[in-house]
Each structure stands twice: as C-alpha cells, then as structure tokens.
Chains A and B, each alone.
Chain A
Amino acid sequence: MMQRIYDWIDERVDITPLWRDIADHEVPEHVNPAHHFSAFVYCFGGLTFFVTVIQVLSGMFLTMYYVPDIENAWKSVYYLQTEVAHGQIVRGMHHWGASVVIVMLFLHTLRVFFQGAYKKPRELNWMVGVMIFFVMLGLGLTGYLLPWDNKAYFATQVTLEIAEGVPFIGEATKTLLAGDAEIVGAQTLTRFFAIHVFFLPAALFLLMGIHFIMIRKQGISGPL
C-alpha cells in the first residue's frame, strides 16, 4: 500500500533523488561505533539535533496553554502542569531538555575541538557552530523567564544587570532586552517570549540548515 502510494508519486515527480541525496551516503568505518567503540563521540551532533527536535515539539505544545502575560503566565504554567493530562511530562520534556541540549552541544563541540575537525576546510562550519551555541544559550536564557516565578524573575534580573555592565552599550542593551529602563515586567515577558518562540528558533533553523548543508558538501573529517 505505502509502496504503491510512493510509486504513484515518484512516477510523477521523481522524489527518489531528493531523499537519496539527503539520506543515502556511506558511513565511513572510523565514525561507526560498531567498528571502533570510541566512535560514539561522533553521535553527539545527532543527539543534539534529536534533543532540539524534542524542544521544538514540546515547546509548540506548551504554547497551546502558556500565556506571556504577567498576570497569567504563572497561573497558566501551574494550570497546564497540574490540571492538563500529561502536562507534567510535556513541561518536563521541555524543562530538562533545555539542559540536556546544552550538554550535548557542548560534548559535540569538545569532540570537534579535540579531533581538530574544525581545521581547513571546515573553519566556516566551526563559526556557524559557535553561532548555534549562542542561539541555544539565548533560548535557554529567554525561556527561563517564561514561567514568571521568583527564580525566573531574579535570574533575569541578574542577567540584565550583567548586560548592563557592558561598556558604552550596556545600558541601551539592557533597556532593549527588558523593554523598559527600570522595570522588569510586562514588556520584558512579552519580549522574551517573542524572542524565545519566534526569533531565536528561526535563527536556529537557518543556522542548522547551513551547518548540515556544509557537512554534506564537505563530508565528515577523516580518521585521526
């Protein structure tokens, strides 16, 4: 059945080369953990991607209940976690995933660093990777405020003070992030929400796209 649907479409629009180009390529022996167990270090990039997919999916579902408003944000998180079926699991996935994704990203970076995989011709992909790292940190930072509890509030207060410490542009940066020169409040929450849910994920998808296209073009780096 599935085969026939596939054939029907393939006959008309020739989709086979499309996915073959993405999915069908050899895994060299030196990155295959079945040959050398130590090759598991090559999995961290894929694991980062896997956890990112979980973050995106669980985040999309959380926004079905969450509201970015100082009166209701905490209440909506409390409601979705205590009253909605599996709310604790879905929030838990997003909450713990936010830390796991950074750990995976860091391990992936360590592998690339200690194998020297960032060297010519892969310098550009190292730079893109560093940008992904900052986007990820930004997601963690902006997401942390969203539950609008005490921990969230004071963590953001501290972050904003750190931003303010930057010479010359510090004060303007802080105001832009917080939406107000003095108050950490209504406008901070809506800004962080917009950045967390629209701006940074868009940047993340773009950067990941570039990252993966470059990997396909250049191939994985050779054995040590």
Chain B
Amino acid sequence: MSEKKQQVSRRQFLNYTLTGVGGFMAAGMLAPMVRFAIDPALQPQSKGDFKAVAQVDEITNEPQRFDWTIDQTDAWYESEVTKSAWVYKQEDGSILALSPVCKHLGCVVSWQGNSDYPEQFFCPCHDGRYYKSGENVEGTPPPVGLDIYEHKIEDGTLYLGKAKPREGA
C-alpha cells in the first residue's frame, strides 16, 4: 500500500477542498434567501369559508348573478373583495351555483352575454360559450365547464363556499 503511487495529487486535493468549502459557504448564504423567495408557494391554500349569498326564495330557474364580499388578507394589505356566482334552480329543484370565471383564460362570463346565443353563458374575451349547465360548448375556446361553488342551505339562506373544478376536468 505505502509503495503505491499517491491516488490524489496535491493539486486535486486543494481543488476538492476549495470547491467543497466554497460550495458550503455559497449554499449557506443562498439557502435562506431561496427559502425566503419560494415561501408563497409553500403556504397552505385558503379553505374558503361559507358565506351567506342569497335567500333561497329569490332563486329562480333562470341564472341570476349574486354578489357578496369577503375579507381578504393579501400579505400586509387587508381589503374587502367582491365575489360573484351565477345561481339557479335546476329541473330537479336542486341549486347550482356557477363560478363566473372563464375556464379559457380567466375573463368573466355572463348569462346571455351575447344576444346571438340566448340560453348560454358568454365570455367576451375570445367568444367562449357555455350551456346553462355550465358545460363548455365544443368548438369555443374553453376546454372544460365552469367551476361549481360548494353550497349549503340553512333557514332559507344560500351559503356558498369555494368554487371547485368539475369532476374529470
């Protein structure tokens, strides 16, 4: 063993040590900064509490827009923001509350927003359309149907929670 030629030359040893120590120092410096920068991606998602939105007897078979406000905390900025839903009673009497956010690229849709397409939701940004059920019309830009709000009814009042994507979307 001792007669064998040295496996690591002096130059290599110095190279390894310097790279190692340098890398350790750089990592020690950068780790807190990177963790600091990616913090927003590691925050838990908001649960979305149920909010009172409408009285059940106001809801008809025709989609109507209901607005309500929520308190939003955006880092150091607190504000009230308005949310909306298109709400109606389906054939079987159950309530459907659709998110107005277009599934193409996020503009806002309205019921009968274009007189050429009565009985449909219309998005003005790229002429996206949805049937009354919120399903997307094939051949228009949106790839899937509108999100559906979780809802519950208590004492004749409709409460809406978080808008969820459809099954299979």
Q: Report if B93 contacts A (CB, 8 A).
A: no
**How many B residues are at the interface, by size bracket?**
10 to 19
CA A72 – CA B78 in complex, angstroms? 11
Question: B36 touches which one: A54, A75, A78, A90 (CB < 8 A)?
Answer: A90
Q: Are A76 and B36 neighbours in the complex by a CB distance under 8 Å?
A: no
- The interface bits of chain A over 77-91 (1 if a CB of B lies within 8 angstroms of the residue's CB, else 0) are 011100111110110
B21 touches A (CB below 8 Å) = no
- Interface-facing stretch out of B25-33, B54-62, B153-161: B25-33
- A113 interface residue, CB < 8 Å from B? no
In the complex, number of A-B residue pairs with CB atoms less than 8 Å apart: 42
Tell whether B42 is near chain A: CB-to-CB under 8 Å.
yes
- Whether A61 sits at the interface, judged by CB under 8 Å, is yes
Task: Answer whether A90 and B76 are a contact pair too, CB < 8 Å, given A84-B39, A85-B39, A85-B42.
Answer: no
Q: Taking CB as reference atom, which chain A residue is nearest B77?
A: A72
Q: Are B33 and A90 neighbours in the complex by a CB distance under 8 Å?
A: yes
Chain A residues whose C-beta falls within 8 Å of the C-beta of B77 in the assembled complex: 72, 75
Q: Which chain A residue shows the least CB distance to B30?
A: A57
A64 at the interface (CB under 8 A from B): yes
Chain A interfacial positions (CB closer than 8 Å to B): 54, 57-58, 61, 64-65, 72, 75-76, 78-80, 83-87, 89-90, 93
> Interface residues, chain B, CB within 8 Å of chain A?
29-30, 32-33, 35-37, 39, 42, 75-77
List 5 A-B pairs, Cβ < 8 Å: A57-B30, A72-B77, A75-B77, A79-B76, A93-B33
